[in-house]
Every structure is written in structure tokens, then in C-alpha cells.
Amino acid sequence: MNTVHTLGPGLSVAQRSMRQAHTRAARRRLLVYLGLTPFVIIAVFPVFWMAITSFKTDADLVNPTVFPFWFHQPPTLEHFTYLFQHTYYGDWIFNTLTIAMLVSIITLLTAVPAGYALARVALPGAEKLGIGIFCAYLIPPILLFIPLSRIVALTHLIDTKWALVVVYPTFTIPFCTWLLSGFFKTIPAEIEEAAQVDGCGRFAAFVRTVVPVSWAGMLTAVIFAFTLSMQDFLYSLAFVSVSDQKPIPLGVATDLMRGDVYFWGSLMAGALLVGVPVAILYSFFLDQFISGITSAAIK
Amino acid sequence: MARQAARRRRARSDRLMTRRQFLSTASAGVAGAALLPLTAPWTAGAAPAQIRGSSLRILTWSHFVPAYDTAFDKYANDWGVANDVTVRVDHINIDDLPARVAAELSAGAGHDIIQQNGVIQTTLYYPHWVDVSDICEKLGRDAGGWLPMASNVAAVKGQWYAVPEFYIPQPIMWRTDLWKQYSLPAPDTWENLRTAARVGKSKGHPAGFAISHCNDANHNWRAVFYAFGVEEADPSGKEIRWDSKALRDAMKFSRALWSEGMTSEVFSWDNVSDNRYLDSGVAIYIHDALSSLRSIQDSNPTLYNNCNVGVSGAEPIGSVRRAAVVDPTILAIWKFSKNVPAAKAFLEQYGADVKFSLTASKGYNMPYLKGWYKKPMPALGSDPKVTVLQDWDKVALVFGYPGPSTAPAAEVLSTFVVPDMVARYCHSNDLEGSIKWGLGQIKGIYAKYKS
Amino acid sequence: MAHAEMVTGPLVHARPGAFTRRRLWFGYGMLAPAILYMTVLVGVPFLWSLYLSLSDATVGNSVAPFVGLQNFAAVLSDSTVRQALRNTIVFTVIAGIFKAVLGGLLAFLLMQDIGAKKILRSLLVIPWTLPVAISALAWKWMFDPQFSAINYVATRLHLMSGWPNWLGEPGLAMASVITVNVWRGFPFAAIVLLAGMSAVPLEILDSAKVDGAGFFLRFHYIVVPMIAPILFVGLLFDTVFTLTDISIVFLLTQGGPMNTTEILPTRALEIGIEAGALGRGAAIALLLFPILLPVVYFLLRFLGRREAA
């Protein structure tokens, strides 16, 4: 090997092999980066395309003769100002956050005790109940939304974002219950036993000892609840028609596709403004998230 | 889009003042009413007392001419202010209306007035809609009667369950400059249009009709089919009449029109695509609603000046007749509405105010009322580009023709059987096979409604 | 129930007798909110839809007489529904394979010791975090027959000749719909696999290496059994999403061209809502269950094994 020849005669064998290992590691790293490149491009390209589109003037956008990935007229903020001045985008952001937050809370309030009960309390029929809860997740919204609308109507929440706060837990609870029950199994039993020996009731023991050490699991559940709430389209379409009550995905898809005109610039601007912050948020919690699913699935 | 919330707030603060203003406008209104026999009494201040202080919610589409949404919201709000009713209008995408309407009925809550647009389901929903025969009969009486298709979409067994709002014409929009440049024959027959598309395509300017799962595809190809004599059902709407020589002629013509004069991109089009095809200067002609023209009026005046709307005789003639297939819209009142009187009062005024509808939509919203076809029509008569639309009452038809727009006819429409049949033939060149598939679908659909 | 007692939490044997009743109260009490929520908002509507699928219901008349299995007979005799059923399976399976392969590869790459991992990871996870309705629209714009950015790049790079019409050609349309689903799903697959791989303790791998176990052996006997459960969860989660999601097809193709991208949820929407035949629409949506059945079966087996372990 060439590298060997260039090495000075003063180097020991150990040094030499270290150097070799080093180059090998560097080469390997390079290969990994090379391998990752297409993935990054595939993942980011549509987002890059969104970004370009959202800063382009309309005339620039539909000019088929020029290189589409750069600006041929100065970039513009008009699509963003349109979003905030002529649509309810500000409200949509607020609604989406409110909905996601409240859905997460409802999910935690129901799924944490349920997950704990399934994992830690020996209950006759618990397994079947657990499976029942989880199977509810398999029922497609297209089958449920008509009957569900009558139930939602009973609450007089139709056409408000609160309707979605009520409905979305139907798909977050099953998954998070399962997730959390796996998580609770990883917590050493001695913790609660000690608390109970100290005279705490079961529930108090649970709240004082188990909850505080379950943040990772709960965080994972919240991330899931958040993501799932943002993926819905059909329920929000069926239950919310009032513009200032819509969550972002519905608002963007219904108020920015006006009949036979798509407001591509504003559409993409609207998508970008929600996508990027969420992605950043994710990168903070990704490690927690991974360990959350790991423990849930393995145990 | 104008901010409705702001307007709502404004409406609330205006109300106190308006009561006082109201007295003065009322007396002026009485004088005006004598001059305008078509306006409803509400403008003269005769709103029934029981609707005062109530609220009214209207669900309608996002109009393809966005300015009309603003105008309509203002119209509804002004009506509300004049009658002391809080009015709220919600707009959603046309494709999303059916799901939303179905959910509202199931919930028994939502809006008081809802619109149906394109996909008309009167025969399914009418038991839950308020009988508005009194309004419709009055509107008809005052304005020379309804076009026959009005009752096809809004009435069941002689009773009206919805107020026909307007219909959307889909004229040929063609490039006069290219026509001149290639010395093409006048576009008033489908054969000439086929020639034009063929020549245009060879010069880089194909025609464009969607052959896909979208609304445009449904009525464009129905227009061709009807012009070649295709009939969907008998006048009662019960017996299928699709299977005919006319269908074969129409299919052959359609495939020729596509293969000679269009590119494959039409298979992926949605309602927007043909507009953009015209906007980008490619299309030699398209067959679509006026909105495509309106969107270039300001942005591309040169192109706008080179585009003509419609042909002499309103629509091109096929082997049998001139036919246009339009998108109907209707407004209905839910029986669960808590404010039926206000809803009826609003519909009575709005239904009669064709002038507003025509003007604010820049000639997009066509009336079903015969009396309004006296030339010059508002908005249409004064704009030389669109004067030909004034003859549209002679050619406009809706799906289900010559029968009414029944539930099975609506299912044939909403499952895109016609565009799929054409697409199959374009791809396979198997005429009988494609027709067999289409008829199988149609027969299946009608059979389900027979039992 | 003896079985359940055996797999219990650690406290049972210590506190028998009267305490058991309290324990049951406590346990069911903890379960009650979730069960109640799901019963009211999923159980009841689900039973209702079952009823709808057996009745002559339309959007205008949801309390209609029973017609037995007529709706199922009607929808199964509809060639478009059968096509939608096939498409649904093709869509789910092909998309699933791609997601697994791409996700696996990506997870493997991300396992390696490289710098800037955090940044790379947060870039890679973007597709999964965007609301699917919005990314479907972005893709629609990229598949545009006139302004397709994909075509622009690919033709310039000479990867492609011509100007394919992604959403307009039967095969390509299905490929496009699958692409969007895969694009959205592969980061999640990678995360799940990453979680699985990081769950295999390094010592085990190392000791296996020392023992001279080859790569495939290690993969087969150590990696697979340890990451299988987590893989399964990811697969389940993603499959359910793929099967029930309507927005990609609804926004990209509406089931066209010629029903080649029609899937059961979109067909159910077309028939049940747009054509107004609620009963038949419900029957079509219920056809999803035979496809979900294997998923449920494995789920039950998996959960059972977990309990027994």
C-alpha cells in the first residue's frame, strides 16, 4: 500500500497500524456521508422547493423558460404578508397549537393511568381491554366521521376548534396507552413498593414515585400526540368550516386553494412556517423519542 | 379574502346606528321599489319582526372569482344589518362541500343555508330541506319563469326544496390571434374545433380538456357527448339511455380530438390546470368557466385581448345539436335550522337579485330565470368579450339530461365514469371495451337505486 | 383469569385478600377514563357504521331499513371497488417495502460514528413532521405536468428523457402516490429502526464478534430477534396510517387516471359521501378490515408473547 511506503522508518508498528486505522475510519466516514447525501437531498428537496416557491413572485413562478431553482425577479415577501393579512393564518397557528396542546393533555390524563394499569396492576381481562383500546386505532376515520359528527354535535362544539380537541384523542389515546404501558414496565417495581410501605395509597404512590421518573415516556407520548394531531385532514374538514377556527393543514388546504386558483406561493409559505419550527423542535427531542419507543417496544 | 371577523365586529357596532338610518332608507326604498319590480320587499324594510336579533349562517364555496366572495359577504352582511340579523358566511373549497354537508346533516347542526355546487344531491337530501316552493314560485313569477333545468336540480315531485342560485357556463375560450395566424375555420362546430386543435398542436399550441377525475372533465366531455346526441336517461330519469350509436360517435370524436389536438398531460389535470394552460400562453383553446379569463384580465392584458369567449350560437354544434353542460348551484335551508324565517327571507331577496349576482361575479354567475335573458343583460351586455353568453339559456343543460339530475345520475357524475370511459378509449383504442366498462358502471349504479 | 394473575405486577402475592378488591378498583379506575373515551367516541360510532353498512342508508336518510349483506354484494360486484382493493394492497405493500429498505439503510448510516449527526438527523426527519395534507400539495406542485421541478432536474441531469406526466399516466400516478407516502414515511422507519438497533447492547454484538459469528449470523440471531418487536410496532403504526390516510390520493389524483390510484378510503368517500350512498360507503371502508386482519393477528400474538415473557 502506498501509505505504508510514505511512512517514515522511525514509526513503530503500533503507530503505523494506528495511522492505518485512522485512514480507514476516515474513509468509512466519508462513505457514510456519501451514503447519507441522497437521503438528505430527498428529504430536503421538497422543502427547499417550498422555500423557493414561497419567496418567488407569481410571474416568476409560472415562467416555464427559466431555471426554476433560483430567483429571476427579486425575492418577495408578498406571499407571507398575504398569509397574515388576508387569511387567518395567525389564528390557524394559534388553533393548531391550542389543539395539539389540549389533545396532548387529554391523552396524558387518560393514557398514563391506563398504561400504568395495564402494565402494573394485575387485572382480570386487562389484556383484552388493552387490545381493545389498541384496536380502536385501526378503525379508519372515513368510517367514523359521519356517526361521530352526531356525537360531536351533542356537545355543541361543531365548528369550533374544541370539536377537534374532543375528537383527536380517539387516535392518540390508543397508541400512547400502548407506548406508556411498555414504558412503565421498565420502571423498577421497588420504587412504588417503597412508597406503599411508607403508607401511601396506590394512587398516591403512583403519582409520587412513578410519574416523576416517566418523563421520557410521557414526552414521547406528547410528541406522538402532537404529530398525529397535525396529520388529520378529514375530521377537521367535517367538523370545522369556520375560517378562524381551522387548524393549519385544513386552513392551508381549503382557504389557499380557491377553486380553480392555487395560491402556490402562499401555500408553500404556509407549509414552511409550520414545518420548519416543528422539525427544529423534533431535533431537540429526538433522543428522548428514540429511547421512549425503544423501552416501550422491548419491554 | 376580506376578513370576515372584522366585518362581523363592524356589523355589531353598526347596528345601533343602523336602526336609525333604517327609517330614512326605508322611505327611500319604497320609492325605489316601484322602479325595481324585481327587488324583494326586504329592501323596503318589510322584514318580518320575528327575525330581528337572530343570527343566520351560510355555507358556500370559495368562488372561482374571488371578488365575488367579498361582494357576497358584504351583501349578506348588509342584508343582516338592514334586518337586524347577524349573518356569518363560511366559504370552503368546492371539492369539500359534499363531505361537509353530509356531516352537518348527521350532526343536525352547522349552517342554516348550505350550497350544493356541481354535485347536486337534492333527491337524497330533500326530506331534510325546508320546502321553499313559495319562494321559487314567486321568483319564477316575477322574472318570466325558470329555465327547465332549474326544477331538475332543485325540485322533487313538483315541490321546490332549494333555491336555484346560479349556474356556471363553460364556454370555449379561444385565441383569436392564433386563429388568424393559422387561418382556422370559425370555432362554432366541434369539427372545426378538432381541426383547430390539430393545427394548433402541430405548432406547439394544443387544446386542453381535462380527461381526469375532476369536475371540468365531467362537464367538458358531457358537452361533447350531448352535442353528438348522447342521452343519459329518459325524461323521467328512470331508464338508462346511454347505450346508443350517438355514444359511439361521441367517443370516436372525443378520442380524435384528444389524439390529434391535445397532449397526455390532460390525464393528470385538475380544475385548475386548463386555466393555467391558457394563462401560460400554450393553449389554443380551452372549455372552462370564465374564471380562467378573469384571472388573466389584469395580469396579462395582451393575452386577455387575444382571447374570445364562446362562439356564435353560444356553443359549438356537434352532429346533433348545440349543447352546453353547466355546473348548477343551489341553496337549501336545513330543517334543523333554528332560523328558517330569516333564511327564507334572505333567499327570497338574494334569489331575486340576479343583477347583483351577475355584476359582482363579472358575468360568471348565470341566472336560471328566463326574464333576465333580455338583452342587454347586466355585466354581460356591456362587456363585448362575453356578450355571447346572453344566448346561453338556449344551450345550457345539466347532467342527467334529458332526465332530471337524479341520485344515480349524480353518482355517475361523482364517480367520473364519463372521463374514465374517454380515458380508457384514449389509452386502449378499444371502443367497445371502453363503452362496455362504462355502461357496466352506469348500469350498476342505476340498479342500486332501483331496489 | 389465572393467566392474568400470573403475569401481574409485583405486589399481588404480598397483599392478598381484601386488598385485591381495592387493587381491582384502583386498576379499573385507572383504566376507566381511556376506556370510556374510546367507547363513546370510537366504539359507538363504529357500531353505528356497522349498522349503516347493513342498511339502505343514504346521506339524506341515515336511519334506514336493514338490507342484510346487499351493500357488500353490491360493492364487491363493482369493478372499481375491486380495483381499489387491489390498489390499496399494492400501495401499502410496495410503499412498506420501500420504507423498510430506505429506513433500514438510513438507520444503518446514522448508527455510524460521524459528526454533525444531530443536524443531519433533524434535516432527515422533516418529511415526517410536516402535515401530510401540506406536503401532498407541495408534491402536487412538483409533479405538475407543466412546471414539474422533478422533470426539470432529471432531464437536465440526463437521468430521464422526455417529460413524464407523473399524475396522468396510470403506472406513474401510482408510483407518484407511493413516492409521497414513502417520502413521508422513511424517516419514521429509520427512527424506529435506529431505536431498535440501539436497543441491542453493544456487548452482545461484540461478544458474538469475538465468538467468530459472521455478519449474517449475528444479524439473524441477535439483531433480528431483538429489533423485531420494535420493527413490528413501527410497521403497524405506519401501515395503519398508510391504509387509512386519504389526503395523499385525494389531493394528488382524486383516484385518477382511470381509477388507477383509487384506494378504498377514496372510493368510500366518493360513494358514501359524494354520491351519498352512506351504506355502501361504509361497506367499502369496512373492506379495509380483511387487509388489517393480518396486522391485528400479529398484534395479538405479539402482545400475548409480551405478556407471557
B436 and B287 within one domain: yes
Residue B114 lies in a domain: yes
Is B401 within a domain?
no
Residue C12 has pLDDT above 50, yes or no: no
- Domain membership of residue B410 (yes or no) is no
Asked whether residue C106 is assigned to any structural domain, the reply reads: yes
Same domain, C1 and C138: no
C187, C235: one domain = yes
CATH annotation of A84-298: 1.10.3720.10
CB pairs under 8 A between A and B: 100
Query: Can you give the pLDDT at residue C26?
Result: 85
Question: What confidence score (pLDDT) does residue B425 get?
Answer: 96
Judged on CB neighbours under 10 Å (0-12, 13-18, 19+), C299 is buried
Q: Is residue C62 part of a domain?
A: no
Q: What is the pTM of this model?
A: 0.83
pLDDT of res. A223? 85
Is there a single domain that holds both residue C183 and residue C219? Answer: yes
DSSP 3-state of B233: strand
Whether the pLDDT of residue A214 is over 50: the answer is yes
B246 in any annotated domain? yes
Residues C239 and C282 in one domain: yes
Q: Are residues C87 and C34 in the same domain?
A: no
C145 and C182 part of one domain:
yes
Per the CB < 8 Å rule, is A122 touching C9? Answer: yes
User: Average pLDDT for residues A252-280, to the nearest whole number?
Assistant: 78
DSSP string, C57-94: -BTTB-S--B-TTHHHHHHHT-HHHHHHHHHHHHHHHH
Q: Is the pLDDT of residue A5 over 60?
A: no
- Within-domain flag for B25: yes
Higher local confidence (pLDDT), C9 or B53? B53
Q: Kindly list the residues from chain B whose CB atom is less than 8 angstroms away from the CB atom of residue C276.
A: 98, 102, 121, 124-125, 407, 410-411
Closest approach of C114 to chain B, Cα-based (Å): 43
Among B126, B77, B72, B120, which residue's Cα sits nearest to residue B97? B120
Q: In chain C, which residues have their Cβ closer than 8 Å to the Cβ of B411?
A: 271, 275-277
Task: Give the range among B371-380, B408-417, C119-128 with minimum mean pLDDT.
Answer: C119-128
Answer yes or no: do C120 and C44 share one domain: no
Instruction: Give residues with Cβ within 8 angstroms of C45, minimum separation 6.
Output: A144, A147, A148, A151
pLDDT value at residue B58: 96
Helix axes B340-352, B133-142, angle to 10 degrees: 20
Summary mean pLDDT of chain A: 82
Look at residue B200 and tell me whether its pLDDT is greater than 70.
yes
Q: Please indicate whether residue C37 or residue B37 has the higher confidence score (pLDDT).
A: C37
Residues C23 and C87 in one domain: no
The verdict on B153 and B264 lying in the same domain is no
Say yes or no for a CB contact (<8 Å) between A267 and C130: no
Question: Is A133 in contact with C35 (Cβ distance < 8 A)?
Answer: yes
Q: Which pLDDT tens digit goes with each residue over C128-138?
A: 888 888 888 88
- B87 and B226 in a single domain? The answer is no
Kindly state whether residues C171 and C261 are assigned to the same domain: yes
Cα B197 to the chain's mean position, in Å? 26
Of A14-23, A262-271, B1-10, the one with minimum mean pLDDT is B1-10
Q: Mean of the pLDDT values across residues C304-309? A: 52
Instruction: Provide the residue ranges of all domains of chain A, joining segments of one domain with +.
Output: 2-61, 84-298
Comparing A81-90, A230-239, C148-157, C278-287, the range with the smallest average pLDDT is C148-157
Angle ∠(A38,A40,A41) on CA atoms, nearest 5? 65
Q: How far is A163 from chain B (nearest CA, A)?
A: 12
Q: Judge if B238 and B289 occupy the same domain.
A: yes
The total number of structural domains in chain B stands at 2
Asked if the bond preceding A174 is cis, omega within 30° of 0, the reply is: no
Q: Give me the mean pLDDT over the C250-261 stretch.
A: 87
Q: Chains with ≥3 Cβ pairs under 8 A against C?
A: A, B
Q: What is the nearest CA distance from B231 to chain C, expressed in angstroms?
A: 20
Q: Which residues of B touch A59 (CB under 8 A)?
A: 299
Do B365 and B296 reside in the same domain of the chain?
Answer: no
What's residue C19's pLDDT?
Answer: 59
Name every chain C residue with its beta carbon within 8 A of the beta carbon of A50: 138
Give the per-residue pLDDT at B305.
Answer: 93
Minimal Cβ distance to A271: which of C123, C138, C288: C138
**Which CATH number belongs to the domain containing residue B383 in this structure?**
3.40.190.10
The mean per-residue pLDDT over the stretch C38-52 comes to 92
Over residues C154-163, the mean pLDDT reads 80
Residue C47 belongs to some domain of the structure: yes
Counting the structural domains of chain C, the total is 2
Contact A146 B111 (CB under 8 A): no
The domain in which residue B332 lies consists of 4-169+327-394
Nearest to B442 by CA among B236, B257, B231: B231
Q: What are phi and psi of B91, to 5 degrees?
A: -115, 135
**How close B214 comes to chain C (CA, Å)?**
8
Which of the four pLDDT bands, split at 50, 70 and 90, describes residue B175?
A: very high
Helix axes A89-120 and C18-38, enclosed angle (nearest 10): 150
Q: Which residues of A touch C9 (CB under 8 A)?
A: 119-122, 189
What digits encode the pLDDT tens for the residues A67-86?
Answer: 667 777 788 888 888 888 88
- Whether B405 is covered by a domain: the verdict is no
> Which of B114-128, C36-50, C103-117 is predicted least confidently?
C103-117
For the stretch C170-227, pLDDT in tens is 889 999 999 999 999 999 889 888 877 777 766 676 776 667 667 677 667 776 676 7
Predicted confidence (pLDDT) per residue in B247-271, tens digit: 999 999 999 999 999 998 899 888 8
Predicted confidence at residue B328, as pLDDT, reads 93
| Contact call for A227 and C128, based on CB within 8 A | yes
Average pLDDT over all residues of chain B:
86
Q: Which chains have 3+ CB pairs within 8 A of A?
A: B, C
The answer to whether residues C115 and C45 belong to one domain is: no
Domain limits at C155?
72-308
Higher-scoring residue by pLDDT: B279, B203? B203
Q: Determine what percent of chain A falls in helix, strand and coil, rounding each to the nearest 5.
A: 80, 0, 20
Determine the pLDDT at residue A71.
Answer: 79
Asked if A259's CB is within 8 angstroms of B62's CB, the reply is yes
| Whole-number pLDDT of residue B419 | 95
Q: Is the pLDDT of residue A293 over 60?
A: yes
Encode burial over C240-275: b for 16+ CB neighbours within 10 A, e otherwise.
bbbbbbbbbbbbbbbbbbbbbbbbbbbbbbbbbbbb
> For residue B352, what is its C-alpha cell?
331575486
Which residues of A fall below an 8 Å CB-CB distance to B? Answer: 58-59, 62, 64, 86-88, 145-147, 149-150, 152-153, 156, 158-159, 234, 237-239, 241-244, 253-255, 257-262
Together in a domain, B72 and B189: no
Q: Are residues C222 and C91 in the same domain?
A: yes
DSSP 3-state of B286: strand
The yes-or-no verdict on residue C307 having pLDDT over 60 is no
Q: Work out the pLDDT band at A189, boundaries 50, 70, 90.
A: confident
pLDDT band at C82 (very low <50, low <70, confident <90, very high): very high
Which residues of C are less than 8 Å from B124 in CB distance?
Answer: 58-61, 276
Pair (C142, C247) in one structural domain: yes
What local confidence, expressed as pLDDT, does residue A161 receive? 92
Query: Is residue B21 pLDDT above 50, yes or no?
Result: no
Residue B297 belongs to some domain of the structure: yes
B146 and B217 co-located in one domain: no
Residues B263 and B390 in one domain: no
Taken in order B302, B303, B304, B305, the sign of the CA dihedral is positive
Q: Based on the fold, state whether residues B81 and B127 are members of the same structural domain.
A: yes
* Alpha helices (runs of H) in A158-263, residue ranges in sequence order: 161-167, 169-185, 190-197, 202-205, 215-231, 234-239, 248-255
- Shared domain for B375 and B229, answered yes or no, is no
Tens of pLDDT along B233-251?
Answer: 999 899 999 999 999 999 9
In a domain, B376, yes or no: yes
Q: What is the pLDDT of residue A7?
A: 47
**Of the given ranges (A13-27, B41-55, B109-123, B133-147), which has the lowest mean pLDDT?**
B41-55
